[in-house]
């Protein structure tokens, strides 16, 4: 098999991911081996590759939104067979015994292992996944279209739920990348009025074309929001969201790594406004979101790159040049391959 490995984090301009052969993985007890056909590229991968997110183990193969076909089934696996399509998400494993796991919050499990951070991920032709954490994917999405749903889509959905937005409510999205585009479609499906704030004028147009009620720069005020989600990895954007929040509203920060949040007057938080982060996802989040995505149906805008161009795809995310989601097509099963 082949993999793109990170030996040492560094600026993306230096192409830190190294392309090369790797040992074929074997399916341990409880594991599947899958032949990867598509893996979407997440901003978290960029933060890991550049060192903003500290590596937990090196070398590591990044990639936590992978789709492929099962080619080997380990001992003590039930419910999976060779040839079946499987999806791999960020939550690679959780203990199942701690108080978080036992209360439906496996995303907070202190022993959790994450794909592409603790376990080798999908920037490879082959990978292993704990069978209990592999996802079934709806038929309506081909491999390339399904991949970006697995992190950007699922985390956006969890953020919407934590924000407490009700059908018909007024929602703000601050920062507008792949995840926000998917969250916008869910919120519109729920009948919410959505206001998008982002620096990029092309992203503003895209938001309007997907049904946003308004789209403008961060300084442009919105009508009073019931809830807001921030996607930009900048603390100042959290304050921008808070400024537009109605009393009782919540700002959810969708970022694993964030700059310092600048000081702000307590008046912005007063009257039961709250700020919270969204961390990781549960299997239930993924299952619920994938069903919803198929029912809507959600449209994932993708830019397709061959596996060996992962450094280039990450560079384009770094420069804000990717529209929708960057997806690596891997092996021969990826349809419509182009660069
Ligand atoms: Zn991600
Ligand atoms: Zn646990």
- pLDDT tens digits along 39-97: 999 999 999 999 999 999 999 999 999 999 999 999 999 999 999 999 999 999 999 99
Q: Which of 254, 217, 216, 185 is nearest to 43 (CA)?
A: 254
Cβ contact 167:193 at 8 Å: no
- Cα of 158 vs centre of ligand 2, distance in Å, is 19
Average pLDDT over residues 128-156: 96
Q: How many CB atoms lie within 10 A of CB 81?
A: 9
- Cα of 96 vs centre of ligand 1, distance in Å, is 22
- Cα of 207 vs centre of ligand 1, distance in Å, is 21
- Cα of 234 vs centre of ligand 2, distance in Å, is 30
List, as own/partner pairs, every contact residues 191-199 make where C-beta atoms lie below 8 angstroms and the sequence separation is at least 24, other chains included.
191/167, 192/165, 192/167, 192/168, 193/168, 193/169, 193/223, 194/170, 195/170, 195/171, 195/222, 195/223, 195/225, 195/244, 196/172, 197/172, 197/173, 197/222, 197/240, 197/241, 198/174, 198/232
* Nearest-ligand number for the alpha carbon of 109: 2
- pLDDT tens digits along 258-295: 989 999 999 999 999 999 999 999 999 999 999 999 99
Q: Which residues pair with 42 in a beta bridge?
A: none
3-state secondary structure of 317: helix
What does DSSP assign to residue 58?
A: S
- Cα of 95 vs centre of ligand 2, distance in Å, is 4
How many Cα atoms within 13 Å fall on the side-chain side of residue 220?
13
Residue 53, burial from CB neighbour count under 10 angstroms (0-12, 13-18, 19+): middle
* Nearest-ligand number for the alpha carbon of 116: 1
- Cα of 119 vs centre of ligand 1, distance in Å, is 14
- pLDDT tens digits along 239-254: 999 999 999 999 999 9
Indicate if the pLDDT at residue 338 is higher than 80: no
Report d(CA 106, CA 130) in Å as an integer: 15
Q: What are phi and psi of 215, to 5 degrees?
A: -150, 130
Report d(CA 41, CA 145) in Å as an integer: 12
* Nearest-ligand number for the alpha carbon of 43: 1
- Cα of 90 vs centre of ligand 1, distance in Å, is 7
* Nearest-ligand number for the alpha carbon of 98: 2
- Cα of 280 vs centre of ligand 1, distance in Å, is 9
Task: Supply the mean pLDDT for the chain.
Answer: 95
For CA atoms 291, 294, 296, 300, the dihedral sign is positive
- Cα of 327 vs centre of ligand 1, distance in Å, is 12
Provide the pLDDT for residue 190.
97
* Nearest-ligand number for the alpha carbon of 325: 1
Q: What are phi and psi of 247, to 5 degrees?
A: -55, 140
- Cα of 60 vs centre of ligand 2, distance in Å, is 23
Residues with CB under 5 A from ligand 2 (ion): 94-95, 98, 101, 109
Task: Please report which confidence band the pLDDT of residue 336 belongs to, taking 50, 70 and 90 as the band edges.
Answer: very low
* Nearest-ligand number for the alpha carbon of 94: 2
Task: Please report which confidence band the pLDDT of residue 301 belongs to, taking 50, 70 and 90 as the band edges.
Answer: confident
Indicate if the pLDDT at residue 334 is higher than 80: no
- Cα of 265 vs centre of ligand 1, distance in Å, is 32
* Nearest-ligand number for the alpha carbon of 231: 1
Instruction: Spell out the residues 6+ positions from residue 174 whose beta carbon is closer than 8 angstroms to its own.
Output: 197, 198, 218, 228, 229, 230, 231, 232, 237, 238, 240, 241
């Amino acid at each position: 098999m082949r993999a793109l490995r990170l030996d040492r984090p560094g600026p993306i301009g230096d192409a830190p991911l190294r392309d090369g052969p790797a040992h074929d993985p074997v399916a341990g007890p409880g594991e599947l081996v899958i032949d990867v056909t598509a893996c979407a590229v997440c901003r978290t991968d960029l933060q890991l590759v550049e060192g903003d997110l500290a590596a937990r183990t090196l070398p590591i193969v990044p990639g936590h939104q992978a789709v492929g076909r099962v080619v080997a089934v380990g001992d003590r696996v039930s419910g999976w067979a060779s040839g079946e399509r499987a999806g791999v998400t960020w939550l690679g494993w959780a203990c199942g015994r701690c108080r978080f796991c036992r209360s439906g919050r496996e995303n907070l499990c202190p022993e959790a292992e994450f794909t592409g951070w603790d376990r080798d991920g999908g920037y490879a032709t082959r990978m292993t996944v704990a069978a209990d954490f592999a996802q079934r994917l709806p038929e309506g999405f081909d491999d390339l279209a399904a991949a970006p749903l697995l992190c950007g889509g699922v985390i956006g959905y969890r953020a919407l739920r934590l924000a407490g937005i009700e059908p018909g409510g007024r929602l703000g999205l601050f920062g507008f990348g792949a995840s926000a585009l998917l969250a916008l479609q869910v919120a519109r499906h729920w009948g919410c009025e959505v206001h998008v704030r982002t620096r990029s004028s092309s992203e503003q147009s895209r938001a309007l074309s997907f049904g946003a009620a308004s789209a403008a720069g961060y300084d442009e005020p919105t009508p009073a929001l019931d809830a807001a989600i921030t996607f930009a990895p900048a603390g100042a954007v959290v304050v921008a969201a808070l400024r537009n929040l109605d009393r009782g509203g919540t700002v959810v920060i969708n970022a694993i790594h964030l700059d310092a949040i600048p000081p702000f007057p307590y008046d912005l938080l007063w009257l039961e406004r709250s700020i919270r982060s969204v961390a990781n996802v549960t299997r239930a989040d993924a299952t619920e979101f994938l069903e919803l995505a198929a029912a809507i149906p959600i449209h994932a805008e993708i830019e397709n790159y061959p596996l060996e161009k992962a450094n280039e795809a990450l560079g384009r995310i770094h420069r804000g040049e990717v529209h929708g989601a960057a997806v690596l097509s891997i092996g021969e099963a990826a349809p419509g391959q182009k660069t």
